Structures are given as C-alpha cells and as structure tokens.
Chain A
Amino acid sequence: DTGVSQDPRHKITKRGQNVTFRCDPISEHNRLYWYRQTLGQGPEFLTYFQNEAQLEKSRLLSDRFSAERPKGSFSTLEIQRTEQGDSAMYLCASSPSNEQFFGPGTRLTVL
C-alpha cells in the first residue's frame, strides 16, 4: 500500500497524559499537513511541513502541541498534558504540490 499511513488508529488516554502520533506520507510527496476534525466540522488546520521545514502553525494551536518531520519523511505530532477538549480525529495529509491525500486518521479519546 503506497498511501498515507498513520499510527495508531485509535488512542485512549487519561487527561494530563502525553500522546504522540505518527504519519508516514506518500514517499515522493514533499508537503505534509496535520489537521484535527471533530464531528460535524471540516478539518481544522494545525501545521504543515515542506520537506523537514515547518512552514506554518495555526495560531489556534496551543503550546501543548508540537510537530516534527526530522528527515523530511515521516512526521510526529505530540500533545502534552492532554485535555478532554483534545478528543478528536487527527488527520495527516501529504501533497506533491496542490492536491492533498489523507491518511486514515488517529482517533483520540481523552477520558
């Protein structure tokens, strides 16, 4: 399968714990995006990378969120001190230029 992959697919954690998600983009895609989506809403932009450079981060994103793409290939998204409001689907997308292709997402539940 040469599509975008994400791991884990589901994560249940207790409030205050840290979580980390991984995204493996389509290999020749140099752009990688992270989104968050809640029920009944469109994807909410979090951040994006061109190769290893993080070019933009949403102003809505608190300091508890951080993302890396150390070698311009896979990326990780970490949420520190999780809150119940962080419960959502976290989506990763990769892009060769204009169109974005999504992975299956990681569903986070914070108890």
Chain B
Amino acid sequence: QKEVEQNSGPLSVPEGAIASLNCTYSDRGSQSFFWYRQYSGKSPELIMFIYSNGDKEDGRFTAQLNKASQYVSLLIRDSQPSDSATYLCAVREDDSNYQLIWGAGTKLIIKP
C-alpha cells in the first residue's frame, strides 16, 4: 500500500514567522511532488511542485525534496493570516502512472 503521510495538525504559527509543513512517502520510486492549498469548503489549489532533490523557491514558498529520506516539505516565509488553510501533499509514482497519491493534509493556522 503506497502511502503519503502528513501530520494532521493543527499547526499554529504566529504571523510573520516561518511555517514548516512536512510530508513523507512510502514509494522510493516516486518522481513528482506537489503541494496544494485548500481553504475550508473550497477545492485544492496547486501552489508548488518539485521534481529534483533540493530546494525550489517561489515567492514566499519554498519546497524541499529529499528523495533519500523520502520526505518533502513546504516552507512559508512571512506567514500571513490568509495562509491559514489545509495543505495537501501529493506524490506521483512514476512516468507511466499519472495518478497522484494524496496525504490527508495539515491544517495550518496563522495567528495575528
């Protein structure tokens, strides 16, 4: 059973601080990794994807991938109350399979 694990939270972070969200996955052959943000009652919104080991930065967001340790993380700098949402990690297994395996999400609360 291929799995993606996330701490359900809630993770509470003061406004202006760095929020760190983590995700581990079971399939060592996984190739592509995605972070989605989901506000309550809304659908998931793609915010970052990463394919190679290391860091990828986009504005206040940084995705970090470590394939050897099988984890991917999302850092949010200068956290804002509008960042309060559930963050979903999704993993694509390999080039022949376009399905994503999803984590259950981490609820993030940014406190003013």
Seen from chain A, the residues whose Cβ lies within 8 Å of a Cβ on chain B are 31, 40-45, 48, 50, 56, 89, 91, 95, 98-105
Contacts and interface: CB of A to CB of B under 8 A. Distances in A.
A99 B34 contact: yes
Given A48-B98, A48-B99, A98 B49 contact: yes
B34 A42 contact: no
Q: Which 8 residue pairs spanning A and B have beta carbons closest together?
A: A42-B102, A102-B43, A105-B43, A42-B104, A102-B44, A43-B102, A104-B43, A41-B104
Contacts of A98: 32, 49, 92, 98
Contacts of B66: none
Interface string B69-92: 000000000000000000010101
Nearest to B107: A40
Contacts of A48: 98-99
Contacts of B42: 104-105
Nearest to A50: B98
A81 to B, nearest CB: 26
B94 to A, nearest CB: 12
Interface string B1-35: 00010001000000000000000000000001010
Contacts, number: 49
Given A91-B43, A99-B49, A40 B104 contact: yes
A95 B99 CA distance: 11
B21 to A, nearest CB: 14
B98 A95 contact: yes
Interface in B34-77: 34, 42-46, 49
Contacts of A42: 4, 88, 90, 102-105
A43 B99 CA distance: 11
